[in-house]
Structure 1
Amino acid sequence: MKLFVDCKKAGHLCDKGQYEDASFFEKLSVRMHVMMCKQCAKYSERNAKLTKLLKDSKCKQMPEECKKRIREELARELAKKPE
């Protein structure tokens, strides 16, 4: 893997880092790129903010039984003939 990457690759590696899938070398490549590229630095900063907001959020996932009930209700409504 190259140490210096283009913007497209840096964006991909930044996303991998957000999900904690990036290796040490990939994180290093992103940091090197971000030091030289203002646009990617802004992208990386926004990505970091988004990650922090999602980790700190108090959002809860809807239970599967509720999702199933909504899907069934939606299917019934879609199956009705228009008047």
Structure 2
Amino acid sequence: MLVELGIQSVEILGDSMLVLKQIAGEYKCLSPSLAVYLVAAGNLLTEFREATWEHIPREENFAANELAQIAIGIQMPENCV
């Protein structure tokens, strides 16, 4: 969606330090099933002029998790905090 909108700079906030380090190329991805996603993420990042990423601890990442759940069609219960 960001590529289609012509966005050139993107900031990635993630709660998995492992995944962020893999995207940055600091760690290798040893799982063949997950390597597919790492390659896809790398290809997507080439579409942006600038990309940065930051680790957000899971307990501070509720909003991002809720957005991710909505994106895949799962709604969070209203009483979930």
TM-score normalised by L of structure 2: 0.30
Q: Which has the higher contact order (CA 8 A, sep 6+)?
A: 2
Which protein has the bigger strand share?
A: 2
TM-score normalised by L of structure 1: 0.29
**Structure ID, larger Rg:** 1
